[in-house]
Amino acid sequence: MKTPLHVVILAAGKGRRMRSNLPKVLHLLAGRPLLSHVVAAACEIDPTRIHVVHGHRGDLLRKALGDSDIEWVEQKEQLGTGHALAQALPSIPDEALVMVLYGDVPLISPSTLRKAMAARDIDGARGIALVTLKVDDPHGYGRILRDDRGRLIKVIEEVDANEEQRGIREINTGILTASAGILRPRLQGDSAYPNAQGECYLTDILARAAADGYLVRTVSPKTTEEVLGVNDRVQLARLERFEQMRIAESLMRDGTGIADPARIDIRGRLRTGIDVFIDIDTVFEGEVVLEDGVRIGPGCVIKDATIGYETEIFAHSVIEGAEIGASCRIGPFARLRPNSRISHEARIGNFVEIKNGVLGRGAKANHLSYLGDARIGARANIGAGSITCNYDGANKHPTVIGDGAFVGSGVMLVAPITVHRGATIGAGSTITKDAPPDTLTLSRAPQRSLKSWRRKAPPEKGDPSLPEGFSDPDSRSGPDSGS
Ligand code: UD1
Ligand code: CA
């Protein structure tokens, strides 16, 4: 029978150095809480159970992790990493293998965890494996002390280390695996009482086990970053850049062109076809799919969207909750809000906002429009400055525009309203009743020109220093506001 594997993630620390009201493990890395990165890595090694030891605001942790299958364990007082692990042990059987992970070490890779399990396996039930690493700057970490035969005898915390020990460059990542039967007795009774720092260190358990003749094997991770901890916001920002670079490189290897891998942020999952090109300063959130040949201009923010084959999104467009077909041209400065469905070959130009709208194949809204709760037919044209008046202050109402309809510029469509197929709406109209098909509909006040009217002369107070043709802006009203 396979040995049961229990992962225990320590996440109860207050994270004081973050200077935040939010529990440290809920701070985001690549758009997801630190803790959910660790849970994801744990899932990859196929554990029997994942336990998360939490402190204050455990409710927030549960909420953030949502439906993950986790055993939540409270550590009421933060008495150290050893004490934290001890809280989870009662529900873990002796014969189980325990893997200890840290909620603030988010980028740990499943391959390093597997390596640790394999190293422990060499010694069977008597083995402990610890992930350690030689670094240039060991500051802040526990140091690994070895005997003259190279065997690990102790991990010494920086605060407890003397000058010579502080010079040791091999550090403790904290990540370890051992059978529950080895850990349990060493976390109970006298040995579990707090030390001079008022804490029960998990690292002390290693020294006790080593003294009792257990062999502590060490393995090193593939990259340094995967075992770096997040203790403050500076370290968080560093890991964020590392993770973003890693994601960008993997996209580029899969055939996506990225103008500058240092200027793209993926806070969720981005899936791309081939020959996609992404320009600088772009942010992707949630689940985004870019099909083959899609081009994303600089400064775009795209969240939970699917963008079809060879569609081009021009600079500074903001897209959320939209499904966009093939060969569309969107932006610059377009805004697509949730529930927008844009069919193939549609064109959405600058300063056009669409919310809960369907745009038919080849339809166009090229300039300055608001289209909310609207269904717009194939090849329909929405003129510059035309909007749907969908909200009466209490309720939202739908607008339906048929195939091939032509809405001129500056039209107010007062919903609920239907503009039937092939209809033409004259520019500047306010449309309050349905417009019949294949007919010109317009509502305009008749134009008048008043021959007898004279514009008032401006007061004689011009600034002589201004060039000819210019007047003092304060002394008269502007050209359009006269009469
Ligand atoms: C710890 C290790 C140190 C190692 C470093 C690696 C100990 C005593 N020290 O130090 O050797 O080099 O990690 O990153 O183990 N936690 C609890 N309950 C507590 C205290 C901590 O759940 O009472 C959790 C924290 O939420 C955190 C983790 O344990 O996720 C580590 O605690 P932290 O205070 O960050 O320890 P370090 O000083 O980083
Ligand atoms: Ca830490």
Q: How far is the CA of 201 from the centre of ligand 1 (A)?
A: 8
Residue 250: pLDDT above 70?
yes
pLDDT tens-place string over residues 147-160: 999 999 999 999 99
Distance CA 243, CA 255 (A): 19
Q: Is the CB of 12 under 6 A from ligand 1?
A: yes
Distance CA 155, CA 7 (A): 22
pLDDT tens-place string over residues 78-89: 999 999 999 999
Domain annotation covers residue 259: yes
Domain annotation covers residue 447: no
Distance CA 317, CA 308 (A): 16
Q: Are residues 153 and 98 located together in one domain of the fold? A: yes
Crossing angle between the packed helical segments 34-44 and 58-65, to the nearest 10 degrees: 60
Q: Are residues 291 and 414 located together in one domain of the fold? A: yes
pLDDT tens-place string over residues 253-309: 999 999 999 999 999 999 999 999 999 999 999 999 999 999 999 999 999 999 999
Q: Is the CB of 221 under 6 A from ligand 1?
A: no
Residue that terminates a domain, selected from 173, 192, 227: 227
Among protein residues, the one whose CA lies closest to atom 37 of ligand 1:
141
Q: How far is the CA of 370 from the centre of ligand 2 (A)?
A: 49
pLDDT tens-place string over residues 34-82: 999 999 999 999 999 999 999 988 999 999 998 789 999 999 999 999 9
pTM, 2 dp: 0.89
Domain annotation covers residue 453: no
Average the pLDDT over 311-325 and give the result: 98
Domain annotation covers residue 483: no
Q: Are residues 262 and 219 located together in one domain of the fold? A: no
- Residue 77 CA: nearest ligand 1 atom is 23
Residue given tokens 């150290």 in the structure block: 80
Q: Is the CB of 78 under 6 A from ligand 1?
A: yes
Q: Are residues 348 and 286 located together in one domain of the fold? A: yes
Q: Are residues 307 and 428 located together in one domain of the fold? A: yes
pLDDT score of 475: 52
Domain annotation covers residue 283: yes
Instruction: Kindly indicate the confidence band of residue 467, based on its pLDDT and cuts at 50, 70 and 90.
Output: low
Residue that terminates a domain, selected from 167, 195, 227: 227
Distance CA 351, CA 303 (A): 18
Q: How far is the CA of 227 from the centre of ligand 1 (A)?
A: 12
Per cent of the chain over pLDDT 70 is 94
pLDDT score of 478: 46
Q: Are residues 318 and 421 located together in one domain of the fold? A: yes
Q: Are residues 282 and 216 located together in one domain of the fold? A: no
Among protein residues, the one whose CA lies closest to atom 33 of ligand 1:
13
Whichever domain contains 424, its CATH number is 2.160.10.10
Q: What is the mean pLDDT of the chain?
A: 93
Q: How far is the CA of 105 from the centre of ligand 2 (A)?
A: 7
Q: Are residues 89 and 147 located together in one domain of the fold? A: yes
Instruction: Kindly indicate the confidence band of residue 468, based on its pLDDT and cuts at 50, 70 and 90.
Output: low
Closest ligand to C-alpha of residue 202 is: 1
Whichever domain contains 215, its CATH number is 3.90.550.10
pLDDT score of 14: 82
Q: Are residues 11 and 149 located together in one domain of the fold? A: yes
Instruction: Kindly indicate the confidence band of residue 482, based on its pLDDT and cuts at 50, 70 and 90.
Output: very low
Instruction: Kindly indicate the confidence band of residue 481, based on its pLDDT and cuts at 50, 70 and 90.
Output: very low
pLDDT tens-place string over residues 83-126: 999 999 999 999 999 999 999 999 999 999 999 999 988 877 67
Among protein residues, the one whose CA lies closest to atom 10 of ligand 1:
141
Q: Which positions are catalytic?
A: 367
Q: Are residues 90 and 194 located together in one domain of the fold? A: yes
Residue 143: pLDDT above 80?
yes
pLDDT tens-place string over residues 452-463: 999 999 888 766
Closest ligand to C-alpha of residue 81 is: 1
Q: Are residues 168 and 210 located together in one domain of the fold? A: yes
Closest ligand to C-alpha of residue 25 is: 1
- Residue 173 CA: nearest ligand 1 atom is 6
Based on the structure, what is the number of domains in the chain?
Answer: 2
Domain annotation covers residue 456: no
Residue 140: pLDDT above 60?
yes
Distance CA 357, CA 322 (A): 9
Q: How far is the CA of 22 from the centre of ligand 2 (A)?
A: 16
95 closest CA partner among 206, 12, 208, 182: 182
Q: Are residues 210 and 337 located together in one domain of the fold? A: no
Domain annotation covers residue 446: no
Residue that terminates a domain, selected from 227, 258, 280: 227
Provide the domain limits for residue 79: 5-227
pLDDT score of 51: 98
Average the pLDDT over 139-148 and give the result: 95
pLDDT tens-place string over residues 377-390: 999 999 999 999 99
pLDDT score of 192: 64
Domain annotation covers residue 264: yes
Q: Are 343 and 326 in contact, with CB atoms under 8 Å apart?
A: no
Among protein residues, the one whose CA lies closest to atom 16 of ligand 1:
13
